[in-house]
Structure 1
Amino acid sequence: MAMQFPAITDTHRAFIETQKIFFTGSCATGTRVNISPRSTAHLHVLGPNAVAYLDLTGSGSETAAHVKAGGALTIMLCAFDGAPMILRLYGQGRIAFRGTPDYAAFLDRFHGGAEPAGARQIVFLTVDLVQTSCGYAVPFFDHVGERPTLDRWAQAKGEEGLRAYRAEKNTTSIDGLPTGFRDF
């Protein structure tokens, strides 16, 4: 049975910190819904009503476009081992692009100031509702490890190659919305 909470509890935080994957869901009026899987290695609980994750360069930037257009953002985690549970964080997103003070502060706090290969922006979520549900139908999966493919791809492209790629692929959504992305 689903339960709703106004904030992230200590139990929720502990659950988030033990998961290996999370999913973002976003949309804006008149757009397609975007759902993306992400590694929790870059997801951090900032407080009872705030989380953020380092977003790496990808083939699109739907979340940034949807957030810029005032759209909704949801983060979902589910247990693939141990006790079953699904946890959703609902709220409004905000993007901190490379070169901004919030981007640098996040890197300082969680990455020792170093920028991981392919990093492009930080996605902040101000959480206005936390919902848990049973997760009884979520299958068991074993976490084998992180894929090194994106890191190798980003390192091979180099900074100039990444800038060119992001300029081509990350400035508008598939529905033509601007993402606000600019490379510094």
Structure 2
Amino acid sequence: MGKKLEFITPELRDFIIDQKIFFVGTAADEGSVNISPKGTDSFRVIDENKIIWLNLTGSGNETAAHLLKNSRMTIMFCAFEGKPLILRLYGNAKIYHRRDSEFQKHIGLFPENTGSRQIIEMDVHLVQTSCGFAVPFMDFKEERNTLNAWSSKQGIEGIEKYWESKNTQSIDGFETEILRN
């Protein structure tokens, strides 16, 4: 059944690498709780207590707004094939924008994507596994290319205009600092 660990083991790292989707949970001290599904080749385990993931342009920017208010973050993976497992990573996160040196340091770890919006770095302080016995089996068919195709069509200028109209505030009115100089 479930275990609590202080770090990501090599076996759990391998499990993470094999996953096609993960879920990110954040919340400010007040307002809405956000849970976002994330896909594509956008997650990296840096070491046993540090992960990064590439946040692509989307319809909202809740994670960024929440992390500016409260750095707590939870990431969850579920095994939809093979041995059942739910894996949660708990920690505190920082958000890096294109203007930040840390963004530039890590962006080369990911495939090029016009919609690359932020890199999130999380210091993991708790790793928890649970059984996943009730998670259904689902077969992976293929990655969706819709977001990448849309981002490429917009180009950098179009993406920045989109950020200005859709990504500067959370649904609760919190600033995201996406366009701060």
TM-score scaled by structure 2?
Answer: 0.95
Structure 1 residue runs of 5 or longer lacking an equivalent are none
- TM-score normalised by L of structure 1: 0.94
Equivalent residue, structure 1, for 2:128: 131
Alignment of 1:1-184 (within 5 A): 1-39=1-39, 41-108=41-108, 110-111=109-110, 115-182=112-179
Point out 4+ residue stretches in structure 1 off by more than 3 angstroms.
none
Secondary structure at 2:172 match in 1: coil
1:11 Cα shift? 1.2
CA displacement at 1:40 relative to structure 2: 5.2
Cα contact 1:5–1:129 (8 A) shared by 2: yes
- Kept after mapping to 1: 8 A contact 2:71/2:94: no
- Is the CA contact 1:22–1:40 (under 8 Å) kept in the aligned structure 2? no
| DSSP 3-state at the match of 2:41 | helix
Whether the aligned pair in 1 keeps the contact of 2:23 and 2:37 (CA below 8 Å) is: yes
Quote the Cα distance in structure 1 between the aligned partners of 2:78 and 2:171. 27
Deviations along 1:105-140, one digit per CA (max 9) or x if unpaired, are 1123x14xx741211110111111000000000000
Q: How many residues align?
A: 181
Q: Distance in 2 between matches of 1:183 and 1:60?
A: 17
SS of the aligned residue for 1:83 comes to coil
Query: Residue 104 and residue 66 in structure 1: after superposition, are their counterparts in 2 closer, same or farther (change >3 A)?
Result: same
CA contact (8 A) 2:94 2:120 kept: yes
The answer (yes or no) to whether the contact 1:163–1:183 under 8 Å persists in 2 is: no
Specify the SS of the correspondent of 2:13: helix
SS at match of 1:41: coil
Task: Give 1:180 shift.
Answer: 1.8
Distance in 1 (CA, whole Å) between partners of 2:54 and 2:167 is 15
Q: Which runs of 5+ in 2 are unaligned?
A: none
Distance in 2 separating the partners of 1:16 and 1:150: 22
Matched to 1:144, the amino acid is K
CA distance in 1, matches of 2:60, 2:99: 20
